[in-house]
């Protein structure tokens, strides 16, 4: 006890040795030291003084309007708890150059520590269940380092503040955000961690030129979100895990997102009405969707990103003038999807340097007369092309998409193990001689596409349909084989005037299905061993009279080429009046 008393006397008298600018005080709530309250020392202290605080619970509201240091007494163990007790703010830092270290600040109805000055150091504090942990307003050049926030609404808030360093802090279970920047620029947030927060780091209202580096965000709804015209920020070298949206740029421009690791989340990087952002060299794995670009997001660069084990790699919708180059996708169920309500949505530059499982992506927009032959692709899109040809090639992951294209030829290709072929808003094309098998959806799917020839294709073992036409009129379906598909061999929905002839439809759940369609003619097809051979709600012909006849049905016995007295009913509203009694019975 004598030794400790002497030490305190030495500390308290240090001001007379070193001058008034270096006085030191000790606060001890148990009454051993000269002061029992922190506020009592603050009242008498001068600029440059240090206040050492012994463990205990201090129910105070402090205002630092002079340059002071608050910290634990060296060698002491125990918690120094500044408790809310109904106060709105724990510590108000109004003077420049203050230091706050090693305190626990809890249960305040506003910020635990509020800063409205510059050049302060706030380190190694614990902030528990305050509405905001640390709040900077109009503050600059402050160091906020290694603080821990738990509970409350927001961990660290910067409002109209700039040039601050936010380093090594941790926020856990903050309802709104771990770190929030509002109208704040040129700040550095590094080495920090957010866990179980609504948003890990949130930048809003024109927060510019901030650098977010080597942060970690786990179990948050959003990892990092930039919006409100926030621009020229950098998100680099950070880790994101188990987020709904790991990085989101909403109405944000000219930001850089690079070298981040994103895993086990719903969506990786999401751009919504975001322009001229650079997204490169990020690692994305175990996600539902890797990068999503939507709602007028234009002029963005996606380069050298790596995707692995994703449901969907890159999705671009209603957005144009984006550049994709050198992105590498592996083990993705769907690598690239581009769509939109207007032609301009497809005006993106997507080079063959993008790969899926080592195979290039072929993306042709507004090409004329171009021919591709004998290649292997992970994905093929022909968008608003005219007279182009893709032949004798293989598509092994995604699909072969044709959108808004006319007069093109898709010949003798193998499309398997992906999503088959999707032909949309495309007229007058020839799709012939292709093997489209073992796909996860339909083999060939036409949407609002007219006057196309679909001939001599093999459509087998696709999970849904072999061939399906939706809102597509006046197409010719000839000499195809549709076998062992999971639903319908050949189907028409709201598709009129289709000619279906010379096909073999074998072992499907439903052989031919026609719904909400009229004016079609189905003749000289083989329908063999389908669970339901055919269905039709009326308005179509299933034979071409006695001269050309109808179809062969494996479940219908009759004699004649064609039979003339044994119609084959198709539901209650249609019938094949001239069926054949033998497979290919029309062959003379």
Same structural domain, 454 and 330: no
Q: What CA–CA distance (Å, rounded) separates 283 from 262?
A: 6
Tell me, what's the pLDDT at 21? 55
Same structural domain, 122 and 269: yes
Same structural domain, 330 and 412: no
In this structure, is residue 518 part of a structural domain? yes
Nearest by Cα to 270 from 292, 250, 242: 292
Domain boundary among 321, 340, 359: 340
Same structural domain, 548 and 423: yes
Same structural domain, 409 and 336: no
Q: What CA–CA distance (Å, rounded) separates 180 from 155?
A: 8
Give this prediction's pTM. 0.92
Q: Which two tokens stand for residue 211?
A: 């650098």
DSSP 426-454: -BS-EEES-EEES-SS-SEEEES--S-EE
Same structural domain, 460 and 314: no
Same structural domain, 421 and 331: no
In this structure, is residue 426 part of a structural domain? yes
Domain boundary among 340, 359, 388: 340
In this structure, is residue 360 part of a structural domain? no
Question: Which residues constitute the domain of residue 97?
Answer: 78-340
* Residues 559 and 581: beta-carbon distance below 8 Å: yes
In this structure, is residue 60 part of a structural domain? no
In this structure, is residue 587 part of a structural domain? no
Q: What CA–CA distance (Å, rounded) separates 79 from 471?
A: 72
Between CA 468 and CA 476, with CA 472 as vertex, the angle to 5 degrees is 75
Same structural domain, 458 and 329: no
Same structural domain, 145 and 255: yes
Tell me, what's the pLDDT at 5? 35
In this structure, is residue 167 part of a structural domain? yes
Tell me, what's the pLDDT at 167? 98
Helix or strand (DSSP H, E) at 8: helix 2-12
Same structural domain, 433 and 539: yes
In this structure, is residue 146 part of a structural domain? yes
Q: What CA–CA distance (Å, rounded) separates 336 from 334?
A: 6
Helix or strand (DSSP H, E) at 363: strand 359-365
Residue listed under structure tokens 């072992």: 507
**What are the 10-residue block averages of pLDDT along the chain, 588 residues in total?**
34 40 86 88 97 96 98 92 93 98 97 98 98 98 98 98 98 98 98 98 98 98 97 98 98 98 98 98 98 98 98 98 98 97 97 98 98 98 98 97 98 97 98 98 98 98 98 98 98 98 98 98 98 97 96 96 96 96 93
In this structure, is residue 492 part of a structural domain? yes
How would you classify the pairing of strands 278-280 and 301-303?
parallel
Same structural domain, 335 and 410: no
Same structural domain, 327 and 419: no
Tell me, what's the pLDDT at 13? 39
How would you classify the pairing of strands 283-294 and 91-93?
unpaired
* Tally of structural domains, the chain: 2
Tell me, what's the pLDDT at 2? 32
Tell me, what's the pLDDT at 139? 98
Domain boundary among 340, 365, 391: 340
CATH of the domain at 224: 2.160.20.10
How far, CA to CA in Å, does 208 sit from each of 237, 371, 387? 19, 47, 47
């Amino acid at each position: 006890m004598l030794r400790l008393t002497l030490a305190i006397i030495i500390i308290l008298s240090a001001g007379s040795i070193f001058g008034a600018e270096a006085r030191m005080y000790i606060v001890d709530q148990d009454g051993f030291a000269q002061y029992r309250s922190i506020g009592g020392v603050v009242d008498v202290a001068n600029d440059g003084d240090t206040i050492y605080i012994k463990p205990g619970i201090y129910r105070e509201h402090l205002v630092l309007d002079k340059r002071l240091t608050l910290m634990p007494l060296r060698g002491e163990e125990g918690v120094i708890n500044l408790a809310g007790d109904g106060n709105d703010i724990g510590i108000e830092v109004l003077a420049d150059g203050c230091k706050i270290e090693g305190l626990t600040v809890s249960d305040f109805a506003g910020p635990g520590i509020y800063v409205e000055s510059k050049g302060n150091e706030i380190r190694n504090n614990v902030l528990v269940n305050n509405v905001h942990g640390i709040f900077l307003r109009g503050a600059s050049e402050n160091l906020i380092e290694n603080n821990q926030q738990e509970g409350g609404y927001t961990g660290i808030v910067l409002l109209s503040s700039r040039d601050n360093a936010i380093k090594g802090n941790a926020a856990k279970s903050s309802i709104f955000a771990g770190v929030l920047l509002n109208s704040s620029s040129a700040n550095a947030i590094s080495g920090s961690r957010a866990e179980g927060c609504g948003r890990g780091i949130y930048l809003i209202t024109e927060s510019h030129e901030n650098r977010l580096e080597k942060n970690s965000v786990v179990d948050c709804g959003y990892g990092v979100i930039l919006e409100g015209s926030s621009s020229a920020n950098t998100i680099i070298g950070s880790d994101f895990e188990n987020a709904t949206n790991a990085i989101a740029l909403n109405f944000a421009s000219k930001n850089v997102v690079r070298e981040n690791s994103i895993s086990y989340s719903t969506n990786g990087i999401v751009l919504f009405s975001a322009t001229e952002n650079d997204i490169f060299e990020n690692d994305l794995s175990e996600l539902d969707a890797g990068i999503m670009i939507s709602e007028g997001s234009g002029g963005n660069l996606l380069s050298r990103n790596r995707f692995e084990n994703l449901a969907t790699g890159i999705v671009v919708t209603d957005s144009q003038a984006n550049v994709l180059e050198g992105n590498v996708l592996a083990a993705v169920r769907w690598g690239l999807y581009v769509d939109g309500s207007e032609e301009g949505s497809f005006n993106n530059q997507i080079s063959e340097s993008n790969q899926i499982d080592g195979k290039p992506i072929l993306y042709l927009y507004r090409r004329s007369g171009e021919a591709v032959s004998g290649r292997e692709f992970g994905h093929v899109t022909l968008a608003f092309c005219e007279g182009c040809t893709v032949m004798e090639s293989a598509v092994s992951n995604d699909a072969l998409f044709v959108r808004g294209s006319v007069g093109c030829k898709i010949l003798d290709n193998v499309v398997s193990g992906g999503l088959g072929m999707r032909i949309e808003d495309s007229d007058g094309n020839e799709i012939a001689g292709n093997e489209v098998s073992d796909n996860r959806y339909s083999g060939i799917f036409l949407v609002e596409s007219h006057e196309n020839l679909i001939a001599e294709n093999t459509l087998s073992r696709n999970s849904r349909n072999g061939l399906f036409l939706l809102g597509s009129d006046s197409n010719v379906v000839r000499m195809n084989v549709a076998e062992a598909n999971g639903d319908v061999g050949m189907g028409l929905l709201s598709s009129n005037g289709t000619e279906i002839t010379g096909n073999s439809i074998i072992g499907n759940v439903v052989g031919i299905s026609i719904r909400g369609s009229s004016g079609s003619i189905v003749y000289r097809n083989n329908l063999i061993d389908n669970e339901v051979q055919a269905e039709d709600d009326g308005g179509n012909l299933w034979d071409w009279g006695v001269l050309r006849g109808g179809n062969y049905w494996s479940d219908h016995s009759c004699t004649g080429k064609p039979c003339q007295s044994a119609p084959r009913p198709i539901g209650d509203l249609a019938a094949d009046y001239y069926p054949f009694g033998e497979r290919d019975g029309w062959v003379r």
